[in-house]
Amino acid sequence: MGIEIDVTLRRGDALIATRFASEAGLTALFGPSGAGKTSVLDMVAGLLRPDAGRIVVGGQVLFDSAAGIDLAPEQRRCGYVFQDYRLFPHKSVEANLLYGWRLSAPEQRWISLPEVCSFLGIGHLLARMPRQLSGGEAQRVAIGRALLSGARCLLMDEPLSSLDAARRGEIMALIERIRDDLRLPILYVSHDRAEVERLAGRIIALD
């Protein structure tokens, strides 16, 4: 149930080209800013279209330029955890968490709202609005929202970068539990070597 990626994308002068296959566990995309790490996540999620290549997650082909396959983002079931959380500001925490869950087919759901709440420790936040959350809380809600959407992999874009040291430790421990207890393949973007060395089973360098 891994992730296979082989994509190229030219953006102006820059060429983003990467190729790797990873099994379950956390694969880190590591490199300086501007190397196109986020672009790779966007291509997996379907938010950015590669010029050519092939993307397979959990045995399903999401994109294959040769075969003319290009699934819409909503058909890919990639749980994307953004650097800036992107919680819906007009919806409560509970409505944010259930947004993807309600849109998923029952057979795609593998975790329930109470399970997510106890796993992430966010049960007491359900009635709040996103603007009433701290950074660490918002990040946990964003992770919960992705898990509840029936995701078969997680795409995490610098999920620790806007948190203070204490919150970083907390979220890092959570990510380890998602990796080890939930056994969800994770593609993880970071420019922080220590973070990547602690979390990743495999490191893909982009430059």
Partner 1 sequence: MPSAQELAIVALSLKVSAVAIFGIAPLAFGVAWVLARGRWAGLVVLDAVVHLPLVLPPVVVGWLLLLAFGAQGPLGRLLADCGITLMFRWTGAALASAVMAFPLMVRAMRLSIEAVDRRLEQAARTLGASRWRVFVSVTLPLAMPGVLAGLVLGFARSLGEFGATITFVSNIPDETQTLPLAIYAALQTPSGDALVTRLALISVTLSLAALVVSEILARRMTRWNGGGRHGY
User: Residues interacting with partner 1, by CB under 8 A?
Assistant: 45-47, 72-74, 76-80, 82, 84-86, 88-90, 99-100, 103-104, 130-135, 138, 145-146, 149-150, 162
Tell the smallest beta-carbon distance from residue 207 to partner 1 (Å). 26
Contact 124, 94 (CB under 8 A): no
Q: Cβ closer to partner 1: 89 or 194?
A: 89
Tell the smallest beta-carbon distance from residue 143 to partner 1 (Å). 13
Tell the smallest beta-carbon distance from residue 65 to partner 1 (Å). 20
Tell the smallest beta-carbon distance from residue 163 to partner 1 (Å). 10
CA 70 centroid distance within chain: 19
Give Cα separations from 153 to 27, 125, 173, 185 (angstroms). Answer: 11, 25, 18, 5
Give Cα separations from 66 to 46, 54, 118 (angstroms). Answer: 17, 8, 44
Helices 135-148/113-120 angle, 10° precision: 150
What sections of 46-164 are H helices per DSSP?
Answer: 93-103, 113-120, 135-148
Tell the smallest beta-carbon distance from residue 45 to partner 1 (Å). 5
Q: Cβ closer to partner 1: 53 or 130?
A: 130
Helices 135-148/93-103 angle, 10° precision: 20
Q: Cβ closer to partner 1: 80 or 188?
A: 80
3-state secondary structure of 69: strand
Tell the smallest beta-carbon distance from residue 193 to partner 1 (Å). 26
Q: Cβ closer to partner 1: 55 or 196?
A: 55
Q: Cβ closer to partner 1: 115 or 180?
A: 115
Question: What is the C-alpha to C-alpha distance for residues 184 and 95, in angstroms, rounded to an integer?
Answer: 24
Question: What is the C-alpha to C-alpha distance for residues 72 and 63, in angstroms, rounded to an integer?
Answer: 9
Q: Cβ closer to partner 1: 17 or 83?
A: 83
